[in-house]
Every structure is written in structure tokens, then in C-alpha cells.
């Protein structure tokens, strides 16, 4: 089931998250909805990211593929070059560089879509709270037996309202 | 004294910045009509060129590159506004950048789209443009990847992809807001483009990381793109092209013209969309200082390039140098020096003279000056080849002029459409943050 707490103050959200975490809930159970990016101290609501790593991997992959593509296509037809190399890494370095960067760009965008959850198959039962201007909504996924404690924690932290959703 | 926009209520900011999307004024219609007319004239001229062949242009031996390549280099240069200004300011966390980044990023995408058209227009038989693509021909020979033409293609494709994503990413939260309360077709449009954005912390964190990484990547790509454009010239053993400083010289010129374009666009948006509260004197002042810095850098490169040639006194180089500075092309060359260096130095260097109006005037001068600079780089070298007997003059025809004018109209047209569909200032970035309020 889900609890949705509405907050006006960022400090109140911070306290609520601290209490909920202390009560045994993990970061994966908590989602904060807001009209602006909300930053918290490290360790509070961490979302580890592999975006930089994926960007490097994408760059290496595209760089290698483009170099291989240029190499094999230039060797595909036996041109008479008078002893000059058919494939010159320096002369095709621009292509390799640009394709390497393209790989990183595509990887960043793709990973953004994945990591943000925009293209991942979402849990349809998870309610998406309507965030009113100037407020933030904390969505908590918990078992029914944890709900009362979680609700109380959010109220104590300063939630202006706590609603229950998705009870079965 | 005007209130700093960060201190305004968020509802007011949203109202101010979403307002230009609704309704179409008479002036907007007139501007659109004017842009369409000039654009249509350019399309007709291109159609005439396609029908009659490249003979209708002023291009002939030995000047094979004329206005089209000048326009190509100019527009690719303008495209550096968004990426460099926006990316550098984002990475350095300059808070004053907020109202100008989207306008700059949009310039990049539009200018790049226009610039990328010119190699195709210049091909003559434009319908064979796909020969540039990497696929084998009937004899199973693949394109020559050592050709600068292929370098341009890959560089522009990469830059276009990157800058479009870089423009799109920060627009997602705004489009999600716009999808909430709007007319039906707009709801569908913004809903599709915002990809179901909900404003969760996972989305915000991923967006922040992606924008930061894209800023780093796009910087590297932007520098490489204009370096590759410069190498189109400097890899040729032509007098006054075969220069090692052409890469940085072109990149500096691109940033220079990009900033000028941004100032002009900002001044127009400020006036037309009534954004006086958001595009303030502070923004113009900061950009004017950057413009002045780039003007000095441009002059330094121009001096370094020309002084070296003059001191070397190599006959073939001196023929081009003479054509540029004393003969047929001298008015253009000296106009570039006045417009790109003297005018900005006077208008922007003197603090008391530095206003929004003078910054805009100086920027217009720089845009004209930078277009002329591209002309002075491209044409005199080709008109004075190593074989002196082949020297010739180049005069563009009405076809080339009409197509060139159409590109400026196209830029205006794209901006008009963009400003009616999307907020020209990132609304979510304007939301007051705690540290700023403090």
C-alpha cells in the first residue's frame, strides 16, 4: 500500500525521510514529488547512478564500432594506392572522434530515460500525487502493518496531510 | 528599481513566461508573413537553380566556393551560441544564465539546421545528397572517410543530435506543466513530449545528471565541429588557408558570432514578448562583456594570421593578402575590422556607453562583420590561386543572395514558431531556491 504525505517545508520532508528510514523503510520505498529539484544531504535519499559509466561505455562502443566500420569498408575494395595505406587512423580520426562523442551522447540520453523511469515499465498501481504549487508530496510504499507508524512519522515531521492509497 | 525575477511569486513567474504561448498578435502575424515571403523567395530561387543548374550562380573557375560556403560557415558559427554559452554557464553554476540558456540552445538547433542545408544546396544536384551517406555504391566502393566532406557530415550529425537533446532535456518539466491545463491539441503535444514526467526525485536527479553530462559532451563536440569546418579550408594547400591556427581562429569567431546572435535574439524577445523583468540589463551587461572579450580575441587571431603572412612575404600568400587588404576585397576586410573590433571596443569597452541598446547595436555589427569575415576568408583565396593566370573575381547572383536572405528569414520563422509553442525561458529553473532566497 501507499501513503502520500503533503509538505510545505523542505526541512519537514527531510525529518520525515529520516524518521521513515529509521523506522525500517529503504530509499526504494520513498519517492518525493516536487515542482523543482530537491536536494538532500548525502545518505538521506540517495539514488546511485551509473550514468557517467554508461556514457563512457557508449563512447567506447561507438568509437570501436566506427573505427572497425571505417577500417573494413576501406579494405572492402582493393584500391591501388601506390603503397600508401588504405586506412589511415589519423586521416579518419575525426570520424572516430565524432562517433565516439555521439556514442556518449546517445548513451546519456538513453540512460536518462531509463534511470528516471520515464520509459521503464512502471508499477501502474503506484499512485502519482498531484503536487500543488509550493508543496511537495512524499510517497511511501509500505506494508499495512507499517502504515500507522509511517503516517504518524510524517505527521510529526510536519506533513499538512497524509492520505492512504492502494489498500487492498 | 525592478524586482529580481527570483523574488517574484512562482505563480507570477509561470504566468509571465507561459503568457506568450497563448494568442497571436497582429505583429506576430506580420512578422510571420514577412519571414514566409522572404523564405518563399529563397525557395523559388533554389528551385530555379535546381532547374537551370549551377550556372545561375556566380560560381565559376577558379571560385568554386562562394556565398553558399560563406553561409555554411557563418551559420555553423552562430550555432555555437547555445552550446558554449549555455554549457559553460551551466557548468560554472552561473545563476544569471537562467533566462538566457533556452534562447541560446534554440539558436544552436535552428542555426545548425540552416547551416547543414548549405552543403546540399551547394551540391547543385541536391537530390543526390544521399551519396554522402556511408553506403557502398554500385561497384561496392564505400565513401572515402578521409574526405573532409565526410568529416563535416559526421560532425554535424553528432552536433545536431547532441544539441537537440541538450535543448530538449531542460524542456521536459516545463512541458509536463503545460500539459496540465491547456487546449486539447497542446495537451496531446506536451503530454507526448514530456514522456509522462511526474516530478519525482528520481526524475529530477536523472535530469540534473544528464544535463550536466550533456553540457560536458556538447562543449567538446562544439569545439570539434567548428575545428572540422576550419580544417575544410586549412587542409587544402591554398594560400592563406593552410594555417595551423585556423581551428582555434574559427572556434573563437564562432563563439563571437554566437554571443552576438544571442544578444540580438534576446533584445527582440525582450521587446516582443515583454520580458523586461526577466531579461534585464544585468544579462545584457554580462553578455556584452563576453562579447568584448571575444572581440579582443578575434582581433588577436586576425592580427596573428595576417601579420605572419605579411612578414613571411611569400608571393602566393601575398597575392591573397593584397587582394584582401588593398585591392578588390579590401572594403570587406576593413569593414570586418571596424565592425568586429572598433565598434564593440568603443560601445562595450566604455562602461558608460554599455546599455541594452548599444549591446544590441554592437551585436548586429558583429553579425554583419562576421559574415563578411567568412566571405573574406573564403573568396579571395579561391580568386587568387597559385596559378596567377587563373585569377578571377567573384560576384554573387540574385539566386545566391535570395537563398542567403531566405536563411535569415528561416531563422526568424523557426524562432517565431518556437516561441509560440514553448516557453522561451525555462520556467522550472526560475523557481526560487532556498539559497537564493536567503
Q: What is the pLDDT of residues B367-388, one digit of tens each?
A: 999 999 999 999 999 998 888 8
Query: Residue B5 falls within a domain, yes or no?
Result: no
Show residues of chain B in contact with A31, CB under 8 Å: 200-202
Neighbours of B15 (CB within 10 A): 12
Q: Judge: A95–B158 Cβ closer than 8 Å, yes or no.
A: no
Instruction: Residue B11: list chain A partners with CB under 8 A.
Output: 133
Residues spanned by the domain of B379: 22-128+147-430
CA neighbor of B252 nearest in space, from B221, B233, B237, B230: B230
Q: What's the whole-number mean pLDDT along residues B423-432?
A: 80
The answer to whether B202 contacts A37, with C-beta atoms less than 8 Å apart, is: no
Query: Domain of A159: which CATH number?
Result: 3.30.70.260
Q: Where are the beta strands (DSSP E) in A8-124?
A: 30-33
**Residue entry with cell 528510514:** A21
CA dist., res. B41 & res. A52, Å (int): 47
Same domain, A72 and A100: yes
Asked if the C-beta of A82 comes within 8 angstroms of chain B's C-beta atoms, the answer is no
Q: B121-159, pLDDT tens digit by residue?
A: 998 899 988 888 888 877 777 888 888 888 999 999 999
Residue A40 domain-assigned (yes or no): no
Q: What is the pLDDT of residue A61?
A: 97
d(CA A64, CA A18): 46
B28 located within any domain: yes
In a domain, B438, yes or no: no
Please report whether residue B58 resides in a domain: yes
The CA distance from B385 to B393, in Å, is 11
pLDDT digits (tens, 9 = 90+) for B61-118: 888 899 999 999 999 999 987 778 888 888 888 888 888 889 899 999 999 999 999 9
Quote the Cα angle for B7-B13-B92, to 5°: 65
- Residues in Cβ contact with A112 at an 8 Å cutoff, skipping those fewer than 6 apart: A51, A118, B169, B206, B207, B209, B210
Say how many domains are in chain B.
1
Residue B4 lies in a domain: no
Residue B431's pLDDT band, with cuts at 50, 70 and 90, is low
Contact B202/A116, CB-based, under 8 Å?
yes
* Interface contact flag, A92 B145, Cβ < 8 Å: yes
A161-165 vs A30-33, strand pairing mode = unpaired
Kindly identify which residue of chain B lies nearest to residue A30, measuring between CA atoms.
B201
Q: Could you tell me if B300 lies within 8 Å of chain A, comparing CB atoms?
A: no
- Put simply, the chain A residues between 137 and 166 with a CB less than 8 A from any chain B CB are none
Give backbone dihedrals phi and psi of A89, rounded to 5 degrees, phi first: -60, -40
> Could you give the number of structural domains in chain A?
2
Q: Kindly report the CATH number assigned to the domain that includes residue B268.
A: 1.20.1630.10
Spatial distance between the Cα atoms of B260 and B373, rounded to a whole number of angstroms: 14
Same domain, A56 and A111: yes
Q: Are residues A28 and A55 in the same domain?
A: no
**Phi-psi label, residue A47: left if phi above 0, alpha if psi -120 to 50, beta otherwise:** beta
Q: Which domain holds residue A94?
A: 51-115
Residues of A in contact with B210 (CB under 8 A): 51, 108-109, 111-112
The answer to the question of residue A142 being in a domain is yes
Q: How many residues does chain B have?
A: 438
| CA dist list (Å): A4 to A107, A118, A147, A159 | 34, 21, 11, 10
The answer to whether B234 touches B244, Cβ cutoff 8 Å, is: yes
* Alpha carbon of B157: minimum distance to chain A alpha carbons (Å): 9
Confidence of residue B358 (pLDDT cuts 50, 70, 90): very high
Question: How far does the CA of residue A76 sit from the closest CA of chain B (Å)?
Answer: 7
Asked whether residue A55 falls in the same domain as residue A81, the answer is yes
Contact B99, B86 (CB under 8 A): no
Lowest mean pLDDT: which of B1-15, B158-172, B290-304, B309-323?
B1-15
Amino acid at each position: 500500500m501507499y501513503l502520500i504525505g503533503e509538505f510545505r517545508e523542505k526541512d519537514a520532508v527531510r525529518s520525515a525521510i529520516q524518521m521513515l528510514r529509521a523506522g525500517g523503510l529503504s530509499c526504494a520505498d520513498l519517492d518525493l514529488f516536487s515542482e523543482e529539484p530537491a536536494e538532500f544531504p548525502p545518505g538521506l535519499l540517495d539514488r546511485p547512478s551509473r550514468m557517467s559509466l554508461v556514457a563512457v561505455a557508449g563512447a567506447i562502443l561507438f568509437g570501436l564500432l566506427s573505427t572497425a566500420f571505417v577500417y573494413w569498408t576501406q579494405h572492402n575494395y582493393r584500391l591501388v594506392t601506390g603503397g600508401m595505406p588504405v586506412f589511415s587512423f589519423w586521416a579518419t580520426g575525426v570520424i572516430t572522434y565524432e562517433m565516439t562523442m555521439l556514442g556518449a551522447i546517445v548513451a546519456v540520453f538513453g540512460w536518462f530515460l531509463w534511470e528516471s523511469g520515464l520509459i521503464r515499465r512502471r508499477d501502474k498501481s503506484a499512485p502519482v500525487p498531484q503536487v500543488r504549487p509550493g508543496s511537495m508530496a512524499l510517497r511511501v510504499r509500505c506494508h499495512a502493518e507499517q502504515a500507522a507508524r509511517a503516517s504518524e512519522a510524517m505527521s510529526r515531521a510536519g506533513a499538512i496531510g497524509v492520505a492512504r492509497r492502494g489498500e487492498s | 528599481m525592478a524586482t529580481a525575477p527570483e523574488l517574484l511569486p512562482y505563480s507570477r513567474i509561470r504566468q509571465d513566461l507561459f503568457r506568450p504561448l497563448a494568442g497571436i498578435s497582429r505583429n506576430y502575424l506580420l512578422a510571420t508573413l514577412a519571414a514566409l515571403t522572404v523564405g518563399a523567395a529563397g525557395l523559388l530561387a533554389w528551385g530555379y537553380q535546381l532547374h537551370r543548374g549551377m550556372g545561375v550562380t556566380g560560381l565559376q573557375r577558379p571560385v568554386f566556393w562562394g556565398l553558399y560556403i560563406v553561409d555554411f560557415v557563418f551559420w555553423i558559427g552562430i550555432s555555437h551560441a547555445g552550446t558554449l554559452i549555455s554549457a559553460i554557464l551551466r557548468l560554472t553554476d552561473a545563476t544569471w544564465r537562467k533566462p538566457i540558456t533556452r534562447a541560446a540552445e534554440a539558436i544552436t538547433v535552428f542555426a545548425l539546421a540552416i547551416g547543414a542545408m548549405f552543403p546540399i544546396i551547394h551540391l547543385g544536384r541536391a537530390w543526390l545528397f544521399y551519396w554522402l551517406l556511408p553506403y557502398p555504391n554500385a561497384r561496392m566502393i564505400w565513401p572515402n572517410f578521409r574526405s573532409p566532406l565526410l568529416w563535416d557530415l559526421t560532425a554535424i550529425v553528432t552536433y545536431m543530435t547532441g544539441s537537440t537533446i541538450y535543448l530538449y532535456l531542460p524542456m521536459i518539466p516545463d512541458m509536463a506543466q503545460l500539459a496540465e491545463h491547456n487546449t486539447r491539441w497542446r495537451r496531446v503535444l506536451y503530454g507526448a513530449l514530456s514522456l509522462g514526467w511526474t516530478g519525482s526525485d528520481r526524475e529530477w536527479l536523472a535530469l540534473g545528471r544528464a544535463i550536466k553530462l550533456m553540457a560536458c559532451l556538447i562543449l567538446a563536440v562544439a569545439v570539434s565541429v567548428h575545428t572540422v569546418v576550419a580544417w575544410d579550408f586549412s587542409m587544402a594547400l591554398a594560400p592563406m588557408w593552410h594555417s595551423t591556427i585556423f581551428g582555434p581562429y574559427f572556434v573563437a569567431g564562432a563563439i563571437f558570432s554566437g554571443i552576438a546572435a544571442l544578444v540580438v535574439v534576446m533584445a527582440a524577445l525582450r521587446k516582443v514578448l515583454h520580458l523586461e523583468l526577466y531579461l534585464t540589463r544585468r544579462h545584457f551587461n554580462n553578455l556584452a562583456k563576453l562579447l568584448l572579450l571575444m572581440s579582443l580575441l578575434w582581433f588577436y587571431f586576425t592580427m596573428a594570421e595576417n601579420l605572419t603572412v605579411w612578414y613571411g612575404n611569400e608571393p602566393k600568400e601575398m597575392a591573397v593578402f593584397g587582394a584582401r587588404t588593398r585591392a578588390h576585397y579590401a572594403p570587406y576586410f576593413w569593414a570586418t575590422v571596424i565592425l568586429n573590433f572598433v565598434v564593440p571596443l568603443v560601445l562595450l569597452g566604455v562602461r558608460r556607453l554599455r546599455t541594452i541598446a548599444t549591446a544590441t547595436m554592437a551585436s548586429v555589427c558583429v553579425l554583419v562583420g562576421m559574415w563578411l569575415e567568412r566571405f573574406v576568408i573564403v573568396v579571395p583565396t579561391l580568386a587568387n590561386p597559385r596559378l596567377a593566370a587563373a585569377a578571377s573575381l567573384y560576384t554573387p547572383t540574385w539566386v545566391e543572395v535570395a537563398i542567403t536572405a531566405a536563411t535569415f528569414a528561416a531563422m526568424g520563422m523557426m524562432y517565431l514558431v518556437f516561441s509560440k509553442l514553448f516557453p522561451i525561458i525555462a520556467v522550472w529553473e526560475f523557481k526560487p531556491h532556498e539559497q537564493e532566497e536567503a
